[in-house]
Structure 1
Amino acid sequence: MALCLLALWAAPAMAVDATELAGRIQKKYATINAFSANFSQSIRNAASGDTEKRSGSFLFKKPVLVRWETLKPEKELLIVGKDAVWDYFEEDKEAYRYAVQEIIGSKTMLRFLTGKANLTEDFLVAAGKPGEAGPGQAVLQLAPREPEPGLVLAKVWVDLSTDMIARIFIQDFYANTNDLTLEGVVVNPKLADTLFAFTPPRDAKVHDNVPVKGHDLPK
């Protein structure tokens, strides 16, 4: 999914037809080839009540190339490349390799950001509660037609001037939540494919989770 936040000056939150807006969002994302953005993220553990705040940058390029770089509270680099996914933790010097389909299918937030979550087909769509949307925005509440442990409820905040998502909120079966806001979005920037390639540093410990025919690689 491509996302953009433009100036939200003065325009009030507006009432819209939820299903019609969901369709507009899908059409808009279909026209976008890439985007870059800064993100802020709040992840809450329901059992402990602890909340972790994260921030960093996000790059996306079609068909499914992702560079998700967390800078705070600690550095983590997630690369979804053409042939593999790498998740690298700089402080620990550990790199994890996964199959692309495994990550895109299981990482719920990535499904939204890359357009793999089809709002009109995968969800029952309803308008959000009054007062939830900011100026110039609308909120859609999404109930998955086929709930899964990682996703039982989602909400998206939509910039009505662009039909793009500015914020995504996800709740899982255990009531844990993941709340992501995008800022400073640039639509269709020129992004070199090298941004979505990763080679582990020589001193990194590599955990390979990509199965090969007949057996699994050591983890």
Structure 2
Amino acid sequence: MGLGACRRGIAVIFASVLLQGALPSALLGASGPALEPDALMARVQAQYDRTTHLHARFRQETRLQGFDQVQTGEGEVWILKPGMMRWHYTKPERQIIIANGETLWIYLPDERQAIRDRVQTSMGTRTPALFLAGQARLTEVFSVAGAASQVPGEGGPLRLELTPKEGTLPYSQVELGIHPTSYQVVRVKLVDPLGSVTTMWFTDIDTQAAVDPSLFQFQVPSGVDVIAPPVFPVPR
């Protein structure tokens, strides 16, 4: 799978789970005893149901199975329900991924190219993109794989391991890192069937400031070529 296809799939999945842990603790009540895994998963879903938008900074690291090379990236993400997201990679190279619920754009400024696709075609009909559109629930696709535990280190996030209920998703395991008092999702780890691992850390998560809907519109700049997306098998 090419880097662009990998990033657009990862972007949708991360956007889905990030929205599900984005509410401040004031809406959740004071922290209490550690939650059981199913209760913690339900709390995360409840947060998603109430969250309408967010902005955050991210750092991404991908370790490919069988290769020593580690791919890294960082940038900003904006999400507006239903179904709109904008990922702006600033490192290692500039790349902008925009989805407005129907159309997906991948803009490569340095290469003066833009890829246009339909969200449903690119992501399939059974991917976490459905969460962004409010058409599915986390518990419908994932089940809890193990007990919730705290990531080693004082004050570290709670670790919640999930597995797909059906073999239709491109990842065999999803691990959420959840802040122990605010219940924000601050880390997401994805493991694919081949053993490659992608981890993304989120900081400066803001669910209060308004998100401008124009961020999810894309006008092809002059001199930029619009090309067809590469074709990869997509689970249906």
Fold in common (TM above 0.5): yes
Q: CA deviation at 1:161?
A: 2.3
Structure 1 residue matching 2:221: 3-state secondary structure:
coil
1:163 aligns with 2:183: yes
Q: Which has the higher helix share?
A: 2
Give the unaligned 5+ runs of structure 2.
Answer: 1-15, 26-32, 231-236
The 5 A counterparts of 1:1-219 are: 1=16, 2=19, 3-4=21-22, 15-105=34-124, 118-125=137-144, 126-128=146-148, 131-132=151-152, 135=155, 137-148=157-168, 150-209=170-229
How far apart, in 2, do the equivalents of 1:111 and 1:133 lie?
A: 34
Asked if the contact 1:132/1:139 (under 8 Å) is kept, the reply is: no
Normalised TM-score (structure 2)? 0.75
Letter in 1 for 2:162: L
Give the unaligned 5+ runs of structure 1.
Answer: 8-13, 211-219
Asked if the contact 1:104/1:111 (under 8 Å) is kept, the reply is: no
CA RMSD of aligned residues (A): 3.0
Structure 1 residue matching 2:111: 3-state secondary structure:
coil
Asked if the contact 1:140/1:155 (under 8 Å) is kept, the reply is: yes
Change (3 A) 1:207 1:78: same
Q: Which segment is superposed worse, 54-63 or 144-153?
A: 144-153
Q: CA deviation at 1:105?
A: 3.9
Q: CA deviation at 1:40?
A: 0.2
How far apart, in 2, do the equivalents of 1:131 and 1:28 lie?
A: 21
Q: CA deviation at 1:133?
A: 7.0
Q: CA deviation at 1:154?
A: 1.1
Normalised TM-score (structure 1)? 0.81
Identity, % of aligned positions: 24
Residue of structure 1 equivalent to 2:7: none
Aligned residues: 205
How far apart, in 1, do the equivalents of 2:162 and 2:156 lie?
A: 20
Q: Which segment is superposed worse, 140-149 or 190-199?
A: 140-149
Q: CA deviation at 1:84?
A: 0.9
How far apart, in 1, do the equivalents of 2:103 and 2:86 lie?
A: 12
Letter in 2 for 1:196: F
How far apart, in 2, do the equivalents of 1:43 and 1:205 lie?
A: 29
Letter in 1 for 2:35: V
